[in-house]
Amino acid sequence: MNQRDDAEFTPWPESEAARYRRAGIWRGIALAEAVHATAVRTPYAPAVSYRGRTLTHIELYRRAAELATGFSNLGLASGDRVVLQLANDDLFVPALLGLLRLGVVPVLALPSHRHAEITAYCRMTSARAYIAQLGESRAHVGETAQRVVDACPELQHIVMCPAAPDDAGPPYVSLSSLVGGPVDFPAVESGATGLLLLSGGSTGTPKLIPRTHDDYLYSIHASIEVCDFTHETVYLAVLPMGHNFTLSSPGILGTLVAGGHVVVSPSPAPSVAWPLIEEHEVTVTALVPSLLAMWLRTSEADTRERLRSLRTLQVGGARLDPDTARQVFDTLGCQLQQVYGMAEGLVCYTRTDDSIETICQTQGRPMSPHDELLVVDDLGSPVPPGHVGELLTRGPYTIRGYYRAAAHNAEAFSDQGYYRTGDLVRLTDSGHVVVVGRSKDQINRGGEKIAAPEIERHLCEHTSVEAAALVAMPDDVLGERACAYVVSTDPRLSLPALRGFLRERGLADHKLPDDLRLLKALPLTGVGKVDKRALQQLNVTGERP
Ligand code: OOB
């Protein structure tokens, strides 16, 4: 390994990079520049709507520039990292574009993250600021922000949205007060890291994904083309806006670059999202399978009529079962598009002209002709066509390494620069991917990823826990739920007590175990590792919350 362990970014080999640049795959344009070019083409078309208020493309451009000025006056500059954690509201897009405009690198945290995760991201990136939503009660800054301030003294600013409470002094500042005289925005280098996305993870510590302006913009343009996004697209952002699926597949950024209109839904519930679809004549939205199931359950005789503007429903993030997939056409009256993607890069889509069977039974095919896919066995050799193996991938928008994680990168990437996805797949003759399972130590809980070792590490900090293993169990609603198998000195250790313990440690709610089962010992494999397959086969009669 010739890389420093704190290397921020593993570049593509120069020969590949040169090829991507020469072929115009990487356009040499920074992300904010690409969005702002649309403002010049379609200045007065609606860009972002939230709770009855709409910003046109030119207004969005101005709002982002104002915020960029404010961020710059705070002392933030190109290359600095800032953790951005906003709910689905009207500030997310201007704040994101404001940071990108300055070349400041946003770390895209999810609203569900709490102080354990936010503190880790701040420390890993030596972040200079944390942009946070005001606490629930709106009267105080919220527990997460307070705990992050205590744990990260090097953080210079906590920017509260929309405004910090009156009695909160430094380091708290209000996003709404961030204005100031004009500044000269720097030219942003398109080969530099544009943003840091979160990895679903399968290790004890969270990993961050450095996406360059060039590679991310390419993935946006390729998505726009495959999904046929135009200035007529009206996209409803239902899933968390900081997730790669919502942000760029083609999502929010794809819609804006294509000159379309993003409508922000503060909740995925049909009672909130469906009236927005009707009001704004939304043409496309994206869901995870568990939310699709909820939409299907909620549907009534008039649902098709109410959702008549909706042409395409994208579903991805977790396995969609083919029977549920088939119901989309009749029950909701729109096209289904399966999306199999990952924040590390590769995104596959089913196409409009695929047969219904292909759309229902596969997770699509790679969006770019430059994506390279290998399906390999345990020893790393390619499997025969049509057989199941682990998917490895590389290409112009799939990273070559995680952020500051050289030791982990040596395992997560092959010598030839392929990313080991940890997904078990089969390729069809037509090149479509069928995801059949997973080899990575992760739980996919309704599309939200849990790195099992991360939670096991916390569980083992409990005074009565001697050993712990977190394992995926089938769940009717979520697809999978998390079961903790624990060896404890306390036979009365309960699920609520364990969940309370983890909550106190500041973990996001979706990472807390759904079941607990106490064992005398954890089963081990021949090489002495915890045998998670054996645990999955034990009948779960354990406690549930
Ligand atoms: C998306 O991104 P991540 O980074 O949250 O999670 C990636 C992982 C994949 O490696 C796979 O294990 C799983 O999520 N996954 C799916 C899937 N889509 C993602 N598993 C089965 N079927 C699918 N359709 O989840 C993501 C990023 C961009 C677009 C869409 C999803």
Looking up residue 81, the CATH number of its domain turns out to be 3.40.50.980
Choice from 110, 113, 248, 342 to test ligand 1 binding pocket (greatest atom count within 8 A of CB): 342
Q: What is the pLDDT of residue 296?
A: 98
Q: For ligand 1, atom 20, which residue shows the shortest CA distance?
A: 318
In a domain, 292, yes or no: no
Q: For ligand 1, atom 16, which residue shows the shortest CA distance?
A: 318
What six digits make up the tokens of 152? 């990260």
Same domain, 400 and 530: no
d(C-alpha 85, C-alpha 159), whole Å: 10
Same domain, 39 and 146: yes
Same domain, 111 and 175: yes
Alpha-carbon 249 to chain mean position: 11
Which H helix or E strand runs over 130?
A: strand 129-133
How many angstroms separate the alpha carbon of residue 341 from the centre of ligand 1?
Answer: 4
- Percent of the chain beyond pLDDT 90? 88
Same domain, 478 and 381: no
Is the shortest distance between the CB of 347 and ligand 1 below 6 Å? yes
CA-nearest of 382, 24, 348, 59 to 217 is: 24
How many angstroms separate the alpha carbon of residue 435 from the centre of ligand 1?
Answer: 10
Q: Which of 9-13, 97-101, 320-324, 424-428 has the lowest mean pLDDT?
A: 9-13
d(C-alpha 468, C-alpha 511), whole Å: 15
What six digits make up the tokens of 310? 């909706």
Q: For ligand 1, atom 30, which residue shows the shortest CA distance?
A: 341
**Residue that terminates a domain, selected from 188, 212, 236:** 212
18-44: average pLDDT: 96
Closest-lying ligand 1 atom to the alpha carbon of residue 344: 4
How many angstroms separate the alpha carbon of residue 319 from the centre of ligand 1?
Answer: 8
Same domain, 208 and 119: yes
418-433: average pLDDT: 98
Q: Is the confidence at residue 545, as pLDDT, over 60?
A: no
Is the shortest distance between the CB of 391 and ligand 1 below 6 Å? no
Choice from 315, 340, 434 to test ligand 1 binding pocket (greatest atom count within 8 A of CB): 340
Q: How far apart are the first and last CA of the chain?
A: 46
Q: What domain range includes position 65?
A: 26-212
**266-316 per-position pLDDT tens digit:** 999 999 999 999 999 999 999 999 999 999 999 999 999 999 999 999 999
**105-160 per-position pLDDT tens digit:** 999 999 999 999 999 999 999 999 999 987 665 666 788 888 999 999 889 999 99
376-388: average pLDDT: 97
CA-nearest of 514, 481, 508 to 496 is: 514
Is the shortest distance between the CB of 71 and ligand 1 below 6 Å? no
Q: What is the pLDDT of residue 222?
A: 98
Q: Is the confidence at residue 406, as pLDDT, over 50?
A: yes
In a domain, 123, yes or no: yes
**342-355 per-position pLDDT tens digit:** 999 999 999 999 99
Q: What is the pLDDT of residue 538?
A: 81
Is the shortest distance between the CB of 341 and ligand 1 below 6 Å? yes
Same domain, 386 and 409: yes
Which H helix or E strand runs over 357?
A: helix 356-361
Closest-lying ligand 1 atom to the alpha carbon of residue 447: 25
Is the shortest distance between the CB of 249 and ligand 1 below 6 Å? yes
- pLDDT-derived band at 56 (thresholds 50, 70, 90) equals very high
In a domain, 422, yes or no: yes
How many angstroms separate the alpha carbon of residue 348 from the centre of ligand 1?
Answer: 10
CA-nearest of 288, 280, 223, 246 to 87 is: 246
How many angstroms separate the alpha carbon of residue 126 from the centre of ligand 1?
Answer: 28
Which residue(s) pair with 236 in the sheet?
Answer: 263, 285
Q: Strand 442-445 relative to strand 448-451: parallel, antiparallel, unpaired?
A: antiparallel
- Residue 73 phi, psi dihedral angles, 5° rounding: -65, -25
Is the shortest distance between the CB of 247 and ligand 1 below 6 Å? no
Q: 432-445: b or e for each residue (b if 16 or more CB lie within 10 Å)?
A: bbbbeebebbbbbb
Is the shortest distance between the CB of 69 and ligand 1 below 6 Å? no
Q: What is the pLDDT of residue 9?
A: 82
Same domain, 392 and 520: no
Q: What's the CATH number where 453 sits?
A: 3.30.300.30
Q: Is the confidence at residue 400, as pLDDT, over 90?
A: yes
Half-sphere exposure at residue 161, Cβ-oriented, CA atoms within 13 angstroms? 19
**Residue that terminates a domain, selected from 212, 229, 264:** 212
Q: Is the confidence at residue 180, as pLDDT, over 80?
A: no
- pLDDT-derived band at 100 (thresholds 50, 70, 90) equals very high
409-413: average pLDDT: 96
What six digits make up the tokens of 506? 């500041």
Q: Is the confidence at residue 3, as pLDDT, over 50?
A: no
Is the shortest distance between the CB of 142 and ligand 1 below 6 Å? no
- pLDDT-derived band at 1 (thresholds 50, 70, 90) equals very low
For the chain, how many structural domains are there in total? 3
How many angstroms separate the alpha carbon of residue 76 from the centre of ligand 1?
Answer: 33
**202-222 per-position pLDDT tens digit:** 988 889 999 999 999 999 999
Q: Is the confidence at residue 438, as pLDDT, over 50?
A: yes
- pLDDT-derived band at 388 (thresholds 50, 70, 90) equals very high
d(C-alpha 45, C-alpha 58), whole Å: 8
**Residue that terminates a domain, selected from 212, 242, 257:** 212
How many angstroms separate the alpha carbon of residue 86 from the centre of ligand 1?
Answer: 22
Q: What's the CATH number where 376 sits?
A: 2.30.38.10
In a domain, 285, yes or no: no
Q: What is the pLDDT of residue 135?
A: 63
CA-nearest of 228, 309, 236 to 267 is: 236
d(C-alpha 100, C-alpha 213), whole Å: 9
How many angstroms separate the alpha carbon of residue 421 from the centre of ligand 1?
Answer: 10
Is the shortest distance between the CB of 510 and ligand 1 below 6 Å? no
Same domain, 377 and 467: no
State the average pLDDT for the chain. 94
In a domain, 514, yes or no: yes
Is the shortest distance between the CB of 244 and ligand 1 below 6 Å? yes
Same domain, 407 and 474: no
Higher pLDDT pick, 84 / 142: 84
d(C-alpha 156, C-alpha 153), whole Å: 8
CB 446 within 8 A of CB 44: no
In a domain, 276, yes or no: no
d(C-alpha 260, C-alpha 93), whole Å: 14
In a domain, 283, yes or no: no
Q: Is the confidence at residue 181, as pLDDT, over 80?
A: no
How many angstroms separate the alpha carbon of residue 203 from the centre of ligand 1?
Answer: 17
14, with CB counted inside 10 A (0-12, 13-18, 19+), is exposed
Same domain, 384 and 509: no
Same domain, 389 and 517: no
How many angstroms separate the alpha carbon of residue 526 from the centre of ligand 1?
Answer: 31
Q: What is the pLDDT of residue 386?
A: 96
Q: For ligand 1, atom 12, which residue shows the shortest CA distance?
A: 423
Q: What is the pLDDT of residue 6?
A: 58
The four Cα atoms 326, 331, 333, 336 give a dihedral, to 10 degrees, of -30
How many angstroms separate the alpha carbon of residue 78 from the centre of ligand 1?
Answer: 31
Length reported for the chain: 545
Q: What is the pLDDT of residue 179?
A: 76
In a domain, 286, yes or no: no
Q: Which of 164-178, 233-247, 255-269, 312-326 has the lowest mean pLDDT?
A: 164-178
How many angstroms separate the alpha carbon of residue 292 from the centre of ligand 1?
Answer: 15
Radius of gyration of the chain (CA): 23
Q: Is the confidence at residue 226, as pLDDT, over 90?
A: yes
* Nearby residues of 465 by Cβ (< 8 Å), 6 or more positions away: 459, 486, 487, 488, 493
Q: Is the confidence at residue 7, as pLDDT, over 90?
A: no
Same domain, 40 and 10: no
